Structure 1
Amino acid sequence: MAATRMGEVVAEVSRRLPTAEDTVAFGRELGRLLRAEDLVLLAGPLGAGKTTMTRGIAEGLGVSGRVSSPTFVLARVHPAGPTTAERPDPVPLVHVDAYRLGGDLAQLDDLDLDADLDRSAVVVEWGEGIAERLSADHLVVRLDRLPDDVRVVDLEPSGCWTDRLPATRLAG
């Protein structure tokens, strides 16, 4: 379970990702774990690697289509890939960029992510502080970019993720 220290959430998992390829690989591992109804919130400053992480998540899910930042369209749906031995029940990916919403909950509601969440994995860049209300069961992936371009990723689980995360390869 994620610990708190004086009201601050402390990451349950923290890793250094020296290259963009490491960021994609970490995302790929996370994507392999995702299923319909999973909500992942990507947090971090510009250039921290949120879209790069999402590319890896998409690879791990095996979804179709090129992954790029949905900044101007707000959300992109990537259809589920083919059924495979590793993924007998393929899951689509809804990739949202909430940066331009500026915390406007009405605009978030207009995206109808609640309906998407029932049948898709939903990844929301810049969603921390507004998108948590979509599900108590969510995972915050906090990315930071150090001066030497190394990324640090911290995972902060909520709800069912407090039990799921420790049982994954990401935690080990």
Structure 2
Amino acid sequence: MSEGVDFKDLSRRMEGAVSAFQHDLASLRTGRASANLLDPINVEAYGASMPINQVATVSVPEPRMISVSVWDKSMVQAVDKAIRESNLGFNPIVDGATLRIPLPELNEERRRELVKIAHQYAENARIAVRHVRRDGMEHLKKAEKDGEISQDDLHVQSDRVQKLTDDTIAAIDKLLVDKEAEILQV
């Protein structure tokens, strides 16, 4: 007799959605400089599109400044262009092989936009968790249909899958509330 569904696998996949959501939230600007703010930027380098951290070192020397030290001087203009075209609202100052990016104070309108983006990220994470739940439920129904588990086992395990889903979505919601408060803090 099979046990129905692999809860370790479901849990791992749901945690993956939460972890991806945390990574997305880290790239949202809150007024304090963070090296993660540049994570979504890709640079056209050597005939390929590469993440910025593969062509430069990103550091935070001051609370409102990001420093990007480009390793290859011939790539400085490409990195500058990628940062300017990223729609993150950054205007780098080129200083040799280093780009300095001052972070201006966030205005209320921009804070509201960032909150909306955070909500979109949260909804995407919830959808990913629901897809994992759906896969688990389908697996359980197939196992019950094939006679591998009883109807009672189906009901018990379905409840476990739902509880795992509810707990994961609650974790996503808590992360969202925390990030929203951080963004709106003046």
TM bucket normalised to smaller: under 0.3
More strand by percentage: 1
Greater relative CO, 1 or 2 (CA 8 Å, sep 6+): 1
Structure index of larger Rg: 2
What TM-score comes out, normalization by structure 2 length?
0.20
TM-score, structure 1 normalization: 0.21
